Structure 1
């Protein structure tokens, strides 16, 4: 996926990433190691460290840090969906769960 427009910023706060569950169990299955917090500017942090991201139009690319190389598509304010290496949308979705606590 190439650049899709103007550069922007994600809403600050905590984001949790999950895969859809099924009708017989949990609606969402949280994915360990994928949660992150947008801390300001183009910066994020995870349990494993901090890094930077680039938001071009609706495409989010983590450019440095523990999530480097991960790409997401901004579906709406606070809702993102992972883009796999082949450029297709994966089932993983990340949603903003609340503001930063500090």
Structure 2
């Protein structure tokens, strides 16, 4: 994996789903939030992803994007990324 791709991937994992969150001190996390305020990041992220997935649901099977449809339609159940994102320790 090229370094810029690996860095982007690592950033998404910690920012979106909280992987590695505990590897940073509260002070370091506060510095990040001060420099880059999140607003209502979790809900805005899920809204954008859901809108995208609903436009072409046939392309989402077997991907994390299928989880956004499940979140939009409470009748459908399977383990999903949306629950994990909402439960990350990052403030929203």
Q: Structure 1 length as normaliser, TM-score?
A: 0.23
Q: Structure 2 length as normaliser, TM-score?
A: 0.24
Choose between structure 1 and 2 for higher RCO, CA contacts under 8 A separated by at least 6 residues. Answer: 2
Which is richer in strand? 1
Which is richer in helix? 2
